[in-house]
Amino acid sequence: MTVSRVINSPSGVSEETRSRVNEAIRALNYTPNLSARNLVTSRQVKLGVIYSNPSAAFMSEFLTGVFEEASAKGAQLVLLKGDNGRSPSPQALQELIASGISAVILAPPLGESPEILNVLREADLPMAVVGGVAHDAISVKIDDRQAAYDLTRHLIDIGHTRLGFVIGNPDQSASAERLSGFHAAVRETGAIDTTVVQGDFSYASGLAAGERLLEQVVPPTAIFASNDDMAAAIVSVAHRRHLNVPEDLSVVGFDDTPVAVTLWPPLTTVRQPVHKLAAEALQRLIAAVQGADTPRTGADRTLHVLGHQIIERLSVAGPSIVERRLKKLT
């Protein structure tokens, strides 16, 4: 109480006491915890939103979910953006923390960035992670492995035996989980030829991956890209090579962002409810800040898995003309 009086009302204490407290503040490098002060005084909840994602479509859905939930709950948001999937600078992070935020929500891939997580842990700020898992944060995601398995099974079940797969950002656990689901479906089927190439969830990486897959002497008849942006890029590469989708090549994506229905043909894809994931994470984070939830009491209480759907559109058909021609030659 004496320290509080010195900071907030210096005239209310003696000169000797004020001098001793200020000396201790300097020695300990003390700064007031503005988020704790906000909670005590019941002021509006102020949340940091940290994001940096090469997919504009994904981020549009994510931020819409965050904005709508914050508006409904009367929470104030402070945005911090990194560039091209990279973390914001340490100085920017410290400035965000010093602004008096009560908690932080992290968009992929930053929810799995050790640098950011360590800084936020040191600041003792509650966190929510979307699309990934952090052991001491609220984590909201879908079952990426199962979703990729389901979509791969769909391609195999309609007759495709030559499959290409484009991996997402190697720094995100979702990328490895989707690849694992793809391999699981292939292993249990047998007699499936696969080619796997690396991407990073950006449209540009999808273009490069599409060229690598389609320049093969015997190219795949179906390509599974780990997000819709990369899938859209592969459709573009196919068109440049005078291949018809889906007659000559089937292409599928992941996320069901608006890009999935703004190109021709519209994409068959996994519907990941990005808007709902973001809103759910923010809702649980606000509840934790206000004491209605306890986000740091074990993975069973912090991990929340939402459902997914396979959305069938016009980018997929049975084995391609190329495949049928190959069979005739052999």
Q: What is the pLDDT of residues 43-63, one digit of tens each?
A: 579 999 999 877 888 899 999
Mean pLDDT, residues 108-133 = 92
pLDDT of 294 over the 60 cut: no
The strand pair at 138-142 and 162-167 is best described as: unpaired
Model pLDDT, residue 298: 42
Q: pTM of the entire structure? A: 0.80
Mean pLDDT score of the chain: 88
Is the pLDDT at 193 greater than 80? The verdict is yes
Largest CA distance in the chain: 97
Per-residue model confidence (pLDDT) at position 19: 83
Positive/negative CA dihedral, 287, 293, 294, 300:
negative
Q: Do you find a cis peptide bond into 265, omega within 30 degrees of 0?
A: yes
- All structural domains of the chain: 1-30 (no CATH), 38-142+277-306 (3.40.50.2300), 144-273+310-329 (3.40.50.2300)
Q: Taking residues 291-314, what's their average pLDDT?
A: 75
pLDDT-based confidence at residue 42 (cuts at 50, 70, 90): very low
* Torsion of the alpha carbons at 273, 278, 282 and 284, rounded to the nearest 10: 40
How high is the pLDDT of residue 31?
Answer: 65
DSSP letters spanning 121-134:
HHTT--EEEESS--
pLDDT in tens, 274-283: 999 999 999 9
